[in-house]
Structure 1
Amino acid sequence: MDVTTARKRLQDMLAELDRSIEVLQGDPVAIREHSAADAGSDLTDADRAQAMITVATAQRRAVTEAMVRLDEGAYGRCVDCEKPVPDGRLEARPEAARCVQCQGRRERRR
Structure 2
Amino acid sequence: MRKLKFHEQKLLKKTNFLEYDKGKGHREGLVTQRYRIVERDDYKKYNGICLMVQKQVNIIKQMDPRDPFRIEMTGMLLDKLYNMGVISTKSSLVKCENLSVSSFCRRRLATVMTRIKMA
Same fold (TM > 0.5): no
Give 1 or 2 for the bigger CA radius of gyration.
2
Normalised to the residue count of structure 1, the TM-score between the two structures is 0.40
Question: Could you state the TM-score of these two structures normalised by the residue count of structure 2?
Answer: 0.38
